[in-house]
């Protein structure tokens, strides 16, 4: 039995490039009904993510959710990047999301409806990514066959990294979605769509592109951000540095087997191409050029980001879809590659065995993805959950009468999920003094300047500003994390509703809500990263995440 190479040239293709077909039997038939079903399944996964996903990074909260809250409700926290003095962040990216957030705000109101806005924006982001996932998978069907396309959709839809990134309000996620669409358009030869989506992703999302067409009189925040990060005018290392293996560890957690498969694509393709193409008129290499060009975004971006000292997980969101595509191609070609390196008499048996091995690998991949998602949701979901227990503010008190309720955070400031989780305009987030020695956000200007004003104490050197701190005696509620006592037990007072001693603020506090929260410093790496039934419960150490109300 002769197995054809995975990317067999065909007479026609987009933009003059030959089409290619996978040698493996298609796992899904090429008809619109099936694509619709797959879209609905993918959208369902994204909507689940929109509702249960945690906020993974304080940058998402204070650089995107809080400014969006300011645009919608007139108050929120402002980082130094939004100060007109620095102008590193653009409000235009946020205005795009007002298309969804604005109408929901009007419909749901300003009280408990704020969470409806939060989840509506997330849902819109997730469904948009689901559309682009289908677009890329259908394009790959034309370029590499239905088997590769089905695998690509499966990997895009089910991996933990995409589950988290697809509903994050981050420019890197926005650019990830744009790159998904641009990659699909590139495979189909639709260059005008490639240019349009790439421009949208670069101009509105990720700023690292040449933006020289705007008048010099404009204060262009994206160009300022480019100069800050790569032009020598700033020092992003102030916010932490990581070693060269940081991204590999991160991708191993979030993408598991996709990482080695994406890295091995060239080797697998080389083995699969050992036999000459069936059509001597079209060189086999020519049929791979388009796929290699789209794949190159992954190694180029990984190299560029790895060379920077300041590294963050979200920086790699951009190339997650390209990695899924590369892994799908490697999997679809693996049986052919294995058949080409064994004697002819063994090829049928080896190729059949490789099909079973690919199926087994996909099962392992899916289990690891679910374990990763479950671990992060179970271990770190408390900050979003406890704020739902905030009582409605007293309806008789108006802010002008001094009726604001202050929800204070100290050491846990970086886990606050945004003012969208404060149930009333009468609640405000406040920072109290803590062990954190850097610059905390300030309140947006409340004198009418709004986004055009800024605290004079905001600075680009991450220098602490005591003026941004709230007196602890004026806190109405307090959020904090309390670890186990020295005996490894939960302090008895945590189980009482009457009173509890705060580790940060003196006085008597009543427990409003408490949730288990992982003590990462006391828990093993494996069970921190993956949820393993029974073992995670035995090995992980949890403290209590507390919402406290000041007692009388």
- The predicted-structure confidence for 345-379, as pLDDT tens digits, reads as follows 888 898 899 999 999 999 999 999 999 999 999 99
Lowest mean pLDDT among 163-172, 288-297, 392-401: 392-401
Lowest mean pLDDT among 249-253, 295-299, 466-470: 295-299
Asked whether the beta carbons of 62 and 441 are under 8 A apart, the reply is yes
Residues 6+ apart with CB under 8 A from 435: 411
Asked whether the beta carbons of 427 and 393 are under 8 A apart, the reply is yes
Lowest mean pLDDT among 158-167, 295-304, 469-478, 527-536: 295-304
Q: How far is CA 240 from CA 56, 308, 313, 392, 438, in A?
A: 16, 11, 13, 38, 12
Q: How far is CA 160 from CA 19, 38, 163, 225, 326, in A?
A: 31, 18, 5, 29, 17
Pick the more confident residue, 309 or 486: 309
Angle at 265 (CA atoms; ends 263, 266), nearest 5 degrees: 105
Q: What is the pLDDT of residue 3?
A: 39
240's tokens: 């932490």
HSE at residue 43, side-chain half, CA atoms within 13 A, is 12
pLDDT range class, residue 226, cuts 50, 70, 90:
very low
pLDDT range class, residue 420, cuts 50, 70, 90:
very high
Asked whether the beta carbons of 257 and 365 are under 8 A apart, the reply is yes
Average of pLDDT values for 330-339? Answer: 90
Asked whether the beta carbons of 551 and 497 are under 8 A apart, the reply is no
Residue 31 pLDDT > 60: yes
Residue 538, classified by CB atoms within 10 Å of its CB into exposed (0-12), middle (13-18) or buried (19+), is exposed
Residue 220 pLDDT > 70: no
First to last CA, the chain: 83
Quick check: helix, strand or coil at residue 78?
strand
- Percent of the chain exceeding pLDDT 70 equals 78
Q: What is the pLDDT of residues 105-136, one digit of tens each?
A: 999 987 778 999 999 999 999 999 999 999 99
329's tokens: 């191609």
Q: What is the pLDDT of residue 66?
A: 96
Quick check: helix, strand or coil at residue 113?
helix
pLDDT range class, residue 84, cuts 50, 70, 90:
confident
Residue 155 pLDDT > 90: yes
Nearest Cα residue to 255 out of 346, 322, 173: 322
| Partners of 382 in beta bridges | none
Residue 503: how many other CB atoms lie within 10 Å: 13
Q: What is the pLDDT of residue 500?
A: 62
Pick the more confident residue, 294 or 39: 39
Separation between Cα atoms, residue 93 and residue 182, nearest integer Å? 19
Q: What is the pLDDT of residue 488?
A: 53
Q: What is the pLDDT of residue 449?
A: 54
pLDDT range class, residue 291, cuts 50, 70, 90:
confident
| Partners of 427 in beta bridges | 405
HSE at residue 477, side-chain half, CA atoms within 13 A, is 22
**Global confidence as pTM:** 0.85
Nearest Cα residue to 77 out of 86, 87, 64, 67: 67
Residue 60 pLDDT > 60: yes
Average of pLDDT values for 196-214? Answer: 59
189's tokens: 């030869």
pLDDT range class, residue 450, cuts 50, 70, 90:
low
Q: What is the pLDDT of residue 486?
A: 54
Characterize the bridge pairing of strands 509-518 and 442-443. Answer: unpaired
Phi, psi of 318 (to 5 degrees): -50, -40
For 340-477, where are the alpha helices, taking DSSP H only? 347-380, 382-386
**So where are the chain's domains?**
22-52+87-380, 389-550
Residue 77 pLDDT > 60: yes
Q: How far is CA 219 from CA 161, 172, 214, 216, 452, in A?
A: 35, 22, 10, 8, 12
Q: What is the pLDDT of residue 86?
A: 78
Nearest Cα residue to 278 out of 21, 539, 501, 542: 21
Q: What is the pLDDT of residue 514?
A: 93
Q: What is the pLDDT of residue 118?
A: 97
Pick the more confident residue, 537 or 195: 537
283's tokens: 């060189």
Mean of the per-residue pLDDT values of the chain: 81
Asked whether the beta carbons of 458 and 442 are under 8 A apart, the reply is yes
């Amino acid at each position: 039995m002769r197995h054809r190479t995975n990317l067999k040239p065909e007479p026609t293709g987009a933009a003059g490039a030959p089409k290619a077909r996978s040698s493996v039997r298609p796992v899904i038939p090429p008809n619109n009904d099936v694509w619709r079903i797959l879209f609905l399944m993918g959208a369902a996964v994204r909507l689940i993510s929109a509702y249960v996903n945690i906020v993974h990074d304080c940058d998402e909260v204070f650089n995107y959710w809080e400014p969006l809250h300011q645009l919608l409700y007139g108050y929120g926290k402002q980082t130094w990047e939004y100060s007109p003095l620095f102008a590193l962040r653009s409000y235009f990216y946020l205005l795009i999301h007002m298309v969804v957030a604005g109408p929901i705000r009007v419909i749901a109101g300003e009280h408990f409806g704020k969470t409806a806005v939060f989840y509506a924006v997330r849902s819109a982001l997730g469904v948009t990514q689901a559309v682009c996932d289908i677009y890329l998978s259908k394009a790959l069907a034309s370029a590499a066959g239905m088997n590769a396309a089905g695998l690509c959709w499966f990997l895009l839809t089910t991996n933990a990294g995409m589950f988290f990134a697809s509903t994050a309000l981050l420019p890197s996620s926005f650019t990830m979605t744009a790159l998904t669409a641009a990659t699909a358009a590139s495979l189909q030869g639709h260059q005008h769509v490639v240019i349009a989506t790439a421009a949208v992703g670069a101009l509105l999302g990720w700023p690292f592109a040449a933006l020289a067409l705007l008048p010099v009189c404009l204060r262009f925040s994206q160009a300022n951000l480019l100069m800050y990060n790569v032009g020598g005018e700033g020092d992003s290392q102030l916010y932490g540095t990581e070693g060269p293996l940081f991204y590999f560890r991160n991708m191993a957690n979030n993408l598991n087997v996709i990482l080695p498969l994406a890295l091995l694509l060239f080797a697998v393709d080389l083995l699969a191409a050992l036999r000459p193409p069936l059509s001597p008129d079209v060189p086999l290499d020519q049929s791979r050029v388009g796929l290699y060009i789209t794949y190159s975004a992954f190694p180029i971006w990984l190299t560029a980001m790895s060379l920077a000292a300041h590294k963050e997980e979200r920086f790699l969101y951009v190339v997650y879809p390209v990695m899924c595509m590369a892994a799908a191609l490697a999997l679809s070609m693996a049986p052919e590659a294995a058949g080409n390196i064994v004697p002819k008499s063994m090829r049928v048996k080896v190729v059949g065995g490789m099909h079973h091995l690919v199926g087994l690998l996909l099962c392992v991949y899916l289990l690891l993805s679910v374990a990763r998602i479950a671990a992060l949701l179970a271990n770190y979901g408390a900050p979003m959950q406890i704020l739902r227990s905030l009582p409605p503010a007293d309806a008789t008190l108006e802010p002008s009468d001094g009726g604001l309720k202050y929800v204070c955070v100290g050491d846990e400031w970086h886990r606050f999920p945004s003012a969208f989780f404060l149930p009333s305009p009468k609640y405000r987030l406040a920072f109290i003094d803590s062990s954190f020695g850097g610059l905390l956000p300030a309140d947006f200007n409340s004198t009418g300047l709004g986004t055009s004003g800024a605290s004079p104490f905001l600075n680009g050197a991450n220098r602490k500003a005591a003026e941004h701190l709230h007196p602890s005696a004026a806190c109405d509620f307090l959020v904090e994390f309390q670890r186990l006592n020295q005996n490894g037990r939960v302090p008895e007072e945590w189980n009482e509703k009457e009173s509890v001693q705060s580790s940060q603020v003196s006085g008597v506090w009543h427990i409003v809500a408490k949730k288990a929260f992982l003590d990462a410093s006391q828990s093993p790496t494996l069970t921190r990263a993956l949820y393993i039934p029974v073992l995670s419960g035995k090995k992980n150490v949890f403290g209590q995440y507390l919402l406290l109300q000041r007692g009388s």
